[in-house]
Amino acid sequence: MIDTKKIHSEWLDYCKLCVEDMTDRDEAHEVAAGSLYVIYYSEAWDLVCSVRDWDLDLFEAAEEEKQIYRGGTGCLTEMIAWTAFVMTRMKLEHYMDAKEEE
């Protein structure tokens, strides 16, 4: 069984570190696309499970966006990777917005 709390905490730390190197919100898409939480399927699966356990609002927002842009099509692994990408992009955008407000 995976430790979803630990994975979620490590992912949040990862996103915060990524934002330190970002200069604007538009970079979130590129950074998320290259994230280990997206490109490695096992990491994507663990992330989606973790966010579902610890940040249900983000999980539901990512699910909603997935339906809009992907139409819910594709194999399960592709859908999990896409959901992990959307979650990571959204969290990076959130942190970048907070950084810009400082």
Which residue has better confidence, 82 or 102?
82
Sorting pLDDT into bands at 50, 70 and 90, what band is 72? low
Identify the pLDDT of residue 61: 92
The answer to whether 91 touches 58, Cβ cutoff 8 Å, is: yes
Q: What are the boundaries of each domain within the chain?
A: 4-101
The answer to whether 35 touches 92, Cβ cutoff 8 Å, is: no
Q: What is the pLDDT of residues 32-45, one digit of tens each?
A: 999 999 999 999 99
What is the percentage of the chain residues whose pLDDT exceeds 90? 72
Which residues are CB-neighbours of 38 under 8 A, at least 6 positions away?
Answer: 32, 44, 81, 84, 85, 88
Residue 30 has pLDDT above 60, yes or no: yes
pLDDT, the chain, mean: 90
Q: What is the sign of the dihedral through the CA atoms of 30, 66, 55 and 53? A: negative
